[in-house]
Structure 1
């Protein structure tokens, strides 16, 4: 299985030159009539973003931000697993596995991690500190090498449980995540509950309850309406990523503009930005994440959790439940927000349910203070004594 090796990321200058040359030669489609974002990414916006990516964006600054955190790589189950391992600054830091999703990366966590590892430096209590382990999901970023096997949530949950317990020696640990990270945390809360102190998520993975369709409460009716809109209007990316991931990977691996269009549209649609994506994220934040996908060549392999989700049974085995203590931060612009009555059919030990005033799908980037505060508040009673 190998042993962890310290790691520093450095993109060759030749790759930076190649990216700029590709951006210079980019071909853009025409803009369809109607509102600029009505049918997908705005052509005018993406032209401006591509110009900045080519002439104004400094990858070396973002690379240095990543390298400011201790990083490691280890071979685990047919992948070179990459992870940040940041010791907590406090009397008894709690080990915390922090998991991103798609189309995110470990770059989502660069503002959140210091708030968790060193809360005293951010207005909190050192007693609430965490030692954070933040991996690139297998098949994402630096947890990818060409030709490696592909992974679904089930395998990712097992790999991460082994990383925390066997490799790093944490007998019990907390987990936190959104998107696929939240779904992986949910899987771990069902099949690895004995290893978990608790799980905290900002995306709640629940199964559709057909009984709810027959006689929903007002709260459940709102959820069903939101769910039906999501399924009808927002899941095109899931169908192609979940059925033809290889075909899509050609265009997005070859074209940086195509990659940016595919990812930035989600940052706008899923965040609490009111239609102005740069009111929440800086261009540098978005392009750091975009560049990480580009330089690692991992966009195609990042699709496979969607493929396996569509071609496998539900990730919680029939008759099983999430028994680990659970906390949930509900951000108002999350893509779906199940009511507690639905969640309690899967999660049997919900200890904290926080309705946030602001924020969306990319909570760690959009609202790092609010998310860190809620994570600390959830784990505090679980770790006391």
Structure 2
């Protein structure tokens, strides 16, 4: 399949789904937390409720049909099979855009934005704002292959995305990303990937310098406080995944309840809500995403992406290409424009959204779509 782009369809064996239900039924539950709320992780009753729904009512075939209807493909780049969605716009002058997800997300983060981005006229928008969309699964995620050798970091992934866009016939395009997707997208911009006209990020944390720290504004002090709370109380998962992903993977790959808890906690912590992630994402949406880790068995390989990128410097590389940045208040980090401009000196769009969190396209597709239209309208 090397060099070729081939259609791809998901067809999970019924025996695999039966095995999942049997594992859920045999879950060996721990005792409950000794404090109220989420202080020690996912509360036992919340986890029982999620897994009970997964066992009794969840319908994977619904998600399978939806993904199969969107236009899935696979192609081999640099020796690795890459899975991606390719949705072409009916608009004649649509702008091609590659959008990259992160952890613990998937291409499903973007599903609610696909229609408005590819066919804005159908959703009350201007057809001049249309995009052709390319939505790849990161190496070791979803239905992309799992790297069997070290080296598949963000820079190498960005190189693969540039090849993918060329292979699809796009000679001028833009890129977007959040979480690890923002790191890959930043690498595309920094490397001036052939054809890449500009980028947009919904996650762009650049740390302050010593000079900045000496003259922080109240807003910047709040940003640093938020970052410090994350480092002290919310980043244990990242330390484990960036140092011992293999050890972690044995449990997550064997136990659906364990995998679901690992991801569910972050969905709760990183979305913008008034107390429960279920007010922002439906249980089906969360389980669909979890299934893209369970079914292909990518808990270990996806965690390994942290290991591959453990030496990243958030202050570099510098991106000279036109850059749009939207910060969402519920994200795990926010950064001052003063700090960010050092790494992204050519900012053409900057906005602080009124709501939304780490999974911007998933949580607030309306705001997300408007931001991309506003940003890339300048590059058409």
Q: TM-score, normalised by structure 1?
A: 0.95
Q: Is the 8 A contact 2:162 2:193 kept in 1?
A: no
Matches within 5 A, 1:81-160: 81-145=82-146, 147=148, 151-160=152-161
Q: Distance in 2 between matches of 1:209 and 1:80?
A: 40
Deviation, 1:109, is: 1.3
For 1:374, the equivalent position in structure 2 comes to: 371
For 1:36, the equivalent position in structure 2 comes to: 37
Tell me: CA distance 1:15–1:208, structure 2 relative to 1, closer, same or farther (3 Å): farther
Tell me: CA distance 1:105–1:148, structure 2 relative to 1, closer, same or farther (3 Å): farther
Q: Is the 8 A contact 1:139 1:151 kept in 2?
A: no
Q: Distance in 2 between matches of 1:202 and 1:146?
A: 27
| 1:31-70 C-alpha deviation (Å, 9 max, x unpaired) | 1221131111111001011011011000000111111111
Q: Distance in 2 between matches of 1:15 and 1:345?
A: 49
Q: Distance in 2 between matches of 1:258 and 1:237?
A: 13
Q: Distance in 1 between matches of 2:260 and 2:330?
A: 22
Deviation, 1:350, is: 0.6
Q: TM-score, normalised by structure 2?
A: 0.96
Q: Distance in 2 between matches of 1:194 and 1:9?
A: 32
Q: Distance in 2 between matches of 1:64 and 1:209?
A: 49
Deviation, 1:155, is: 1.1
Asked if 1:174 corresponds to 2:174, the answer is yes
Q: Distance in 2 between matches of 1:148 and 1:68?
A: 33
Moved more, 261-270 or 87-96: 87-96
Deviation, 1:148, is: 5.8
For 1:187, the equivalent position in structure 2 comes to: 187
For 1:254, the equivalent position in structure 2 comes to: 254
Matches within 5 A, 1:1-385: 1-145=2-146, 147=148, 151-165=152-166, 167-192=167-192, 195-310=195-310, 312-314=311-313, 320-383=317-380
RMSD (Å) for aligned C-alpha atoms = 1.5
Query: SS of the counterpart of 2:42?
Result: coil
Q: Is the 8 A contact 1:330 1:354 kept in 2?
A: yes
Query: SS of the counterpart of 2:230?
Result: helix
Query: SS of the counterpart of 2:141?
Result: coil
Query: SS of the counterpart of 2:237?
Result: helix
Q: Is the 8 A contact 1:271 1:334 kept in 2?
A: yes
| 1:115-140 C-alpha deviation (Å, 9 max, x unpaired) | 11111111111111100000001110
Deviation, 1:316, is: 6.7
Provide structure 2 residue ranges, at least 5 long, that are not aligned to the other structure.
none
Q: Distance in 1 between matches of 2:323 and 2:89?
A: 22
Q: Distance in 2 between matches of 1:20 and 1:146?
A: 29
Deviation, 1:217, is: 3.0
Q: Distance in 2 between matches of 1:207 and 1:161?
A: 28
Deviation, 1:149, is: 5.0
Deviation, 1:150, is: 5.7
Moved more, 27-36 or 337-346: 27-36
Deviation, 1:357, is: 1.3
Q: Distance in 1 between matches of 2:79 and 2:299?
A: 18
| 1:84-104 C-alpha deviation (Å, 9 max, x unpaired) | 110012130100001100000
Q: Distance in 2 between matches of 1:280 and 1:206?
A: 28
